[in-house]
Amino acid sequence: MKFYPETNARRFFKRLVFLSRKVFFDKMVLMIAYLRGKIRYIKPLSKKDNYFIIDVGGIGYLVFCPAQLADKLKIGEEKEIYTAQIIREDSHELYGFEKQSETDFFKLLIGVSGIGPKKSLAILEQARLADILKAIVSDKPEFLVKVSGLSKNVAEKIVIGLQEKVKNLSAKDFGKIQDMPDDSDSMEALLALGFSLPQAKEALAEVSSDISDKDKRIKAALKILGNNR
Protein backbone atom coordinates (compact mmCIF):
# COMPACT_ATOMS: atom_id res chain seq x y z
CA MET A 1 0.00 0.00 0.00
CA LYS A 2 1.35 3.38 -0.96
CA PHE A 3 1.17 6.23 1.59
CA TYR A 4 1.06 9.86 0.66
CA PRO A 5 2.31 12.69 2.86
CA GLU A 6 -0.45 14.69 4.52
CA THR A 7 -0.93 17.88 2.57
CA ASN A 8 -2.37 21.16 3.81
CA ALA A 9 -5.55 20.36 1.90
CA ARG A 10 -5.92 17.00 3.69
CA ARG A 11 -5.28 18.59 7.07
CA PHE A 12 -7.89 21.26 6.29
CA PHE A 13 -10.40 18.58 5.28
CA LYS A 14 -9.82 16.59 8.49
CA ARG A 15 -10.28 19.75 10.55
CA LEU A 16 -13.47 20.56 8.67
CA VAL A 17 -14.85 17.08 9.40
CA PHE A 18 -14.01 17.45 13.10
CA LEU A 19 -15.73 20.85 13.33
CA SER A 20 -18.76 19.52 11.46
CA ARG A 21 -19.06 16.66 13.93
CA LYS A 22 -18.76 19.10 16.83
CA VAL A 23 -21.55 21.27 15.48
CA PHE A 24 -23.61 18.13 14.86
CA PHE A 25 -23.25 16.97 18.45
CA ASP A 26 -23.88 20.45 19.84
CA LYS A 27 -27.11 20.67 17.87
CA MET A 28 -28.22 17.28 19.20
CA VAL A 29 -28.17 18.38 22.83
CA LEU A 30 -31.51 18.14 24.66
CA MET A 31 -33.34 16.03 22.07
CA ILE A 32 -35.33 13.71 24.38
CA ALA A 33 -37.56 16.08 26.36
CA TYR A 34 -40.08 13.73 27.97
CA LEU A 35 -40.43 10.09 29.02
CA ARG A 36 -43.42 8.16 30.31
CA GLY A 37 -43.10 4.58 31.49
CA LYS A 38 -42.56 2.18 34.39
CA ILE A 39 -39.73 2.51 36.86
CA ARG A 40 -37.64 -0.68 36.68
CA TYR A 41 -34.64 0.20 38.84
CA ILE A 42 -33.63 2.89 41.32
CA LYS A 43 -30.03 3.24 42.39
CA PRO A 44 -29.68 3.40 46.20
CA LEU A 45 -29.36 7.06 47.25
CA SER A 46 -25.83 8.44 47.42
CA LYS A 47 -24.12 11.81 47.46
CA LYS A 48 -23.66 11.76 43.70
CA ASP A 49 -24.83 10.08 40.52
CA ASN A 50 -28.35 9.19 41.59
CA TYR A 51 -30.28 7.60 38.75
CA PHE A 52 -33.13 5.29 37.82
CA ILE A 53 -34.12 3.16 34.83
CA ILE A 54 -37.49 3.77 33.21
CA ASP A 55 -39.06 1.29 30.77
CA VAL A 56 -40.64 3.04 27.80
CA GLY A 57 -42.10 0.65 25.24
CA GLY A 58 -39.68 -2.10 26.20
CA ILE A 59 -36.60 0.15 26.10
CA GLY A 60 -34.87 0.99 29.37
CA TYR A 61 -33.57 4.54 29.72
CA LEU A 62 -31.02 5.33 32.42
CA VAL A 63 -31.84 8.79 33.79
CA PHE A 64 -29.71 10.79 36.23
CA CYS A 65 -31.86 12.76 38.66
CA PRO A 66 -31.87 14.86 41.85
CA ALA A 67 -31.78 12.84 45.07
CA GLN A 68 -35.23 14.09 46.10
CA LEU A 69 -36.76 12.65 42.93
CA ALA A 70 -35.00 9.30 43.32
CA ASP A 71 -36.27 9.13 46.90
CA LYS A 72 -39.90 9.49 45.75
CA LEU A 73 -39.81 6.85 43.02
CA LYS A 74 -41.15 3.33 43.47
CA ILE A 75 -40.34 0.23 41.46
CA GLY A 76 -43.16 -0.65 39.07
CA GLU A 77 -44.96 2.71 39.21
CA GLU A 78 -45.92 4.61 36.06
CA LYS A 79 -44.07 7.91 35.94
CA GLU A 80 -43.82 10.97 33.71
CA ILE A 81 -40.38 12.59 33.57
CA TYR A 82 -39.21 15.79 31.90
CA THR A 83 -35.71 15.28 30.57
CA ALA A 84 -32.66 17.02 29.22
CA GLN A 85 -30.43 14.97 26.94
CA ILE A 86 -26.73 15.79 26.87
CA ILE A 87 -24.90 14.24 23.93
CA ARG A 88 -21.17 14.55 23.56
CA GLU A 89 -18.70 12.69 21.40
CA ASP A 90 -17.79 10.38 24.29
CA SER A 91 -21.09 10.13 26.21
CA HIS A 92 -24.87 10.22 25.93
CA GLU A 93 -26.67 11.13 29.18
CA LEU A 94 -30.26 11.85 30.25
CA TYR A 95 -31.18 14.03 33.22
CA GLY A 96 -34.72 13.82 34.57
CA PHE A 97 -36.95 16.11 36.63
CA GLU A 98 -40.52 16.19 37.93
CA LYS A 99 -41.29 19.62 36.47
CA GLN A 100 -40.59 21.32 33.16
CA SER A 101 -39.47 24.45 35.03
CA GLU A 102 -36.65 22.46 36.67
CA THR A 103 -35.57 21.13 33.29
CA ASP A 104 -35.60 24.62 31.79
CA PHE A 105 -33.42 25.99 34.59
CA PHE A 106 -31.07 23.01 34.32
CA LYS A 107 -30.55 23.93 30.65
CA LEU A 108 -29.71 27.49 31.68
CA LEU A 109 -27.24 26.31 34.31
CA ILE A 110 -25.26 24.07 31.98
CA GLY A 111 -24.92 27.05 29.67
CA VAL A 112 -22.78 28.85 32.27
CA SER A 113 -19.07 28.42 31.61
CA GLY A 114 -17.56 25.83 33.95
CA ILE A 115 -20.93 24.51 35.20
CA GLY A 116 -21.43 20.98 33.93
CA PRO A 117 -24.56 18.82 34.18
CA LYS A 118 -23.49 17.03 37.39
CA LYS A 119 -22.76 20.30 39.19
CA SER A 120 -26.04 21.74 37.90
CA LEU A 121 -27.88 18.72 39.26
CA ALA A 122 -26.18 19.15 42.64
CA ILE A 123 -27.31 22.79 42.81
CA LEU A 124 -30.92 21.82 42.15
CA GLU A 125 -30.71 19.18 44.88
CA GLN A 126 -29.81 21.66 47.56
CA ALA A 127 -32.57 24.29 47.43
CA ARG A 128 -36.01 25.03 46.02
CA LEU A 129 -35.97 26.28 42.47
CA ALA A 130 -37.93 29.38 43.54
CA ASP A 131 -35.28 30.31 46.12
CA ILE A 132 -32.44 29.78 43.64
CA LEU A 133 -34.14 31.99 41.06
CA LYS A 134 -34.88 34.69 43.61
CA ALA A 135 -31.26 34.67 44.74
CA ILE A 136 -30.13 35.13 41.14
CA VAL A 137 -32.57 37.94 40.38
CA SER A 138 -31.85 39.65 43.72
CA ASP A 139 -28.08 39.45 43.12
CA LYS A 140 -27.44 37.24 46.18
CA PRO A 141 -24.65 34.78 45.28
CA GLU A 142 -24.09 34.23 49.00
CA PHE A 143 -27.30 32.18 49.12
CA LEU A 144 -25.92 29.77 46.52
CA VAL A 145 -22.68 29.55 48.50
CA LYS A 146 -24.54 28.64 51.71
CA VAL A 147 -26.97 26.06 50.39
CA SER A 148 -24.98 24.51 47.57
CA GLY A 149 -21.42 24.68 48.88
CA LEU A 150 -20.29 26.52 45.77
CA SER A 151 -17.28 28.78 45.85
CA LYS A 152 -17.95 32.52 45.84
CA ASN A 153 -16.50 32.85 42.33
CA VAL A 154 -18.72 30.11 40.88
CA ALA A 155 -21.82 31.49 42.61
CA GLU A 156 -21.11 34.98 41.27
CA LYS A 157 -20.57 33.55 37.78
CA ILE A 158 -24.02 31.91 37.92
CA VAL A 159 -25.71 35.10 39.12
CA ILE A 160 -24.02 37.27 36.50
CA GLY A 161 -24.52 34.76 33.70
CA LEU A 162 -28.19 34.00 34.37
CA GLN A 163 -29.67 37.14 35.88
CA GLU A 164 -31.05 38.55 32.64
CA LYS A 165 -32.07 35.11 31.33
CA VAL A 166 -34.03 34.37 34.51
CA LYS A 167 -35.74 37.76 34.28
CA ASN A 168 -36.73 36.90 30.72
CA LEU A 169 -38.62 33.78 31.73
CA SER A 170 -42.25 33.86 30.75
CA ALA A 171 -44.22 36.36 32.82
CA LYS A 172 -46.58 33.61 33.96
CA ASP A 173 -43.82 31.36 35.29
CA PHE A 174 -41.81 34.15 36.87
CA GLY A 175 -44.94 35.64 38.38
CA LYS A 176 -45.53 32.38 40.23
CA ILE A 177 -41.93 32.40 41.45
CA GLN A 178 -42.16 35.97 42.70
CA ASP A 179 -45.36 35.17 44.58
CA MET A 180 -43.73 32.27 46.42
CA PRO A 181 -42.40 33.05 49.92
CA ASP A 182 -38.65 33.50 50.27
CA ASP A 183 -37.43 30.57 52.38
CA SER A 184 -33.72 31.38 52.41
CA ASP A 185 -33.81 32.72 56.00
CA SER A 186 -36.16 29.95 57.13
CA MET A 187 -33.81 27.38 55.61
CA GLU A 188 -30.86 28.83 57.51
CA ALA A 189 -32.85 28.78 60.76
CA LEU A 190 -33.73 25.10 60.38
CA LEU A 191 -30.14 24.22 59.53
CA ALA A 192 -28.99 26.08 62.64
CA LEU A 193 -31.39 23.92 64.68
CA GLY A 194 -29.57 20.81 63.48
CA PHE A 195 -31.80 19.60 60.67
CA SER A 196 -30.20 18.38 57.46
CA LEU A 197 -30.56 20.29 54.22
CA PRO A 198 -32.89 17.69 52.62
CA GLN A 199 -35.07 17.66 55.76
CA ALA A 200 -35.33 21.45 55.86
CA LYS A 201 -36.01 21.70 52.14
CA GLU A 202 -38.75 19.05 52.13
CA ALA A 203 -40.45 20.47 55.23
CA LEU A 204 -40.55 24.01 53.86
CA ALA A 205 -41.88 22.68 50.55
CA GLU A 206 -44.86 21.23 52.45
CA VAL A 207 -45.67 24.52 54.19
CA SER A 208 -48.54 26.34 52.50
CA SER A 209 -47.47 29.24 50.29
CA ASP A 210 -50.29 31.22 51.91
CA ILE A 211 -48.08 31.48 55.00
CA SER A 212 -45.63 34.25 54.16
CA ASP A 213 -44.34 35.29 57.59
CA LYS A 214 -40.87 33.82 58.19
CA ASP A 215 -41.43 32.86 61.84
CA LYS A 216 -44.76 31.21 61.06
CA ARG A 217 -43.17 29.25 58.20
CA ILE A 218 -40.42 28.02 60.53
CA LYS A 219 -43.00 26.93 63.13
CA ALA A 220 -45.05 25.13 60.48
CA ALA A 221 -41.92 23.40 59.16
CA LEU A 222 -40.92 22.34 62.68
CA LYS A 223 -44.37 20.83 63.17
CA ILE A 224 -44.00 18.86 59.93
CA LEU A 225 -40.53 17.67 60.93
CA GLY A 226 -41.84 16.64 64.35
CA ASN A 227 -44.66 14.60 62.81
CA ASN A 228 -42.23 12.83 60.49
CA ARG A 229 -40.07 11.53 63.33
For each of the domains in the chain, give its residue range(s) and CATH number, in order of start. 28-114 (2.40.50.140), 127-180 (no CATH), 182-227 (1.10.8)
Question: What's the predicted TM-score (pTM) here?
Answer: 0.69
* Segment 82-119, tens digit of pLDDT: 999 998 878 889 999 999 889 999 999 998 988 889 99
Cα angle 46, 71, 214; round to 5: 100
> What is the greatest pairwise CA distance in the chain?
82
Walk along the chain (229 residues) and give the pLDDT tens digit of each residue: 554 455 665 665 555 444 444 444 444 444 789 999 999 999 987 767 899 999 999 999 999 999 889 988 999 999 999 999 998 878 889 999 999 889 999 999 998 988 889 999 988 988 888 888 888 888 889 888 887 778 899 899 999 999 888 877 655 555 555 556 667 778 778 888 888 777 887 788 788 877 878 888 899 989 888 876 5
